[in-house]
Amino acid sequence: MAVVDPNQVVDVAFRTMEERFWHRVAETLDRIFANGRGQAAEYRRRLGAYREQVAHAPAEEQLLVYHSEPLDIAADLAGARVTPGHIAAYHKLEHAPAEA
């Protein structure tokens, strides 16, 4: 009989939430902040570097990141200030049907 290790379940759940978080940041960069493919590619490069930095940060710093709004992380990576227009577009993105 297989036994489920509760620590592994928590780890899998966290990894799923973590991937959803980063997917939302990437989607926000692409759909709200990027003006064209070249800029989107640059933002994705910045996102990759930031994810790597976060992965090696102390647990406390990681918690702060994962409790941030993906819109704020995306804006920082894009070097932009969040405007009411960005917020409205982000809310639409949040409520859009999930992509397959």
The per-residue pLDDT for 54 is: 96
* Dihedral of the alpha carbons of 81, 99, 47, 93, in degrees to the nearest 10: 10
Regarding pTM above 0.95, the answer is no
The pLDDT tens digits of the residues spanning 36-90 come to: 999 999 999 999 999 999 999 999 999 999 999 999 999 999 999 999 999 999 9
Cα–Cα distance, 17 to 70 (Å, whole number): 12
| pLDDT-based confidence at residue 10 (cuts at 50, 70, 90) | low
Cα–Cα distance, 84 to 67 (Å, whole number): 21
The per-residue pLDDT for 94 is: 84
